[in-house]
Structure 1
């Protein structure tokens, strides 16, 4: 594709939207045509995000004011419900939604977990669940792409190959997850003040986190049967980064070595997902600021169990980076285009 991709980013004043702008600026095919943020309409991006001062970017506008006839790809970085209500009205664009609105295939399940009726249930069958490494065929020329949540991305990269191969038991999966503060969004919240978050770890969503049905839906598809997980997320005092520790029961005759071998085979040719050397634990510092994911398997002291650990950057591979990866696949571009940046360290 030689023509520049005219792109609108809705919700550009949030962390996810801003990181999408950051990545889009280095993508050789993207032309940032419109930026929307209703609460900041009329302001420049540099006024909201000073690190964009050197760049010529459109001023922020209300999402409803965007001329979608002049847009090829829309990235929706809006809250759930608001996202589907607007995106369902956009014609003739590739729509890549980073909210939760099109991830679940059941409108009833969505209503149960998100507290409101789905705004556009008729679009759910057409939405492609965009876990890039497992959805390439479906993503080609897709018109509506639902980007996975950040926790689901890490968990699914760790466990889907093992369930597909029948190496672990679907009935016994326990996941402890940790995320940086940006995962909670940019809106002012007392619980996210520095003094509240620093020097502490906070479990939340105990027994009822909204990513649970999404994880179960996709693990169930991989296993070929219903999956119910135990999932406990934790807020940790870092800006970006996510790590999941999955305790699994292995199928008869399987070992941590056979689980590692399956992951090694599945991800051998993947540009962004990497099995670490034996004994090396994934850490968020290995992927910070990048679209990479790292994973590894360890023996549990309880016979028959293993520990699978994965780390991603929640704003990149867990959100905006994966959205661009999905766009690249959908439009027939090199999958890594605009995502080649190495992780930041320290």
Structure 2
């Protein structure tokens, strides 16, 4: 039996040094209107302003930057619904290698076009009938590429943890940190960082109610698999938590809140009208949980990681005009 790789706060700090001057140090926004609405002092880490428009660049670059010259010469592969695809493609370009990305056929057009724009080759699959992990591993093996998975990789997790590190450096101790949950890489890295810097900070994940695989898994004490969820939060449309991320989150995450598609749209509209920022559905789920009152006993000082803003204008208008 292979031991599950560990990720430490030292790994997060090393990732931060590796990303210094490469990734953007994204802003933290506050809003008196949001504070009045929630009854808390809320600090929003705006990863929609990160390179490629999402936090995923942090983990992808941190992982690709540690590959050997021989691995870089052969190229890399990844599988993703969109943001990790773009992040890996850009990391490959920055580090002088090539990328082949496996993407679902129904991935948002803007994310597909951006991935191609960064120089990657795209191979498509049906997310509802095919297993992307198996397909990605087969693709990498067939072409001799190094596979960079979207969350289940220690270097990816460490890179994602740098978003929380920057947030804490700006805000100091927080009572709670609210983070979207897909495969669990962002919240795992965030929880490792929170535990190291401020052990009293509760780390709360947010999933779409139709994609509650992590909540069910934490409740059951083991990873469970659900049908591939249908939700507007395409970045969180996963059926099972990661093999590496789940034990970390099982140990460090306080709770998981669920939000409806309607809650998400309301949060996207609020962010646009009051914060003057554009969030994609997956990036808006933590804000949605706060606004809809789905986090029990909300404390006084709360951090939120708004994970991304990759949505095209037509889709955004369709959703927020509902």
Larger Rg over CA atoms: 1
- Choose between structure 1 and 2 for higher RCO, CA contacts under 8 A separated by at least 6 residues: 2
Q: TM-score range by the shorter chain?
A: 0.3 to 0.5
> Which of the two has greater strand per residue?
1
TM-score scaled by length of structure 2:
0.34
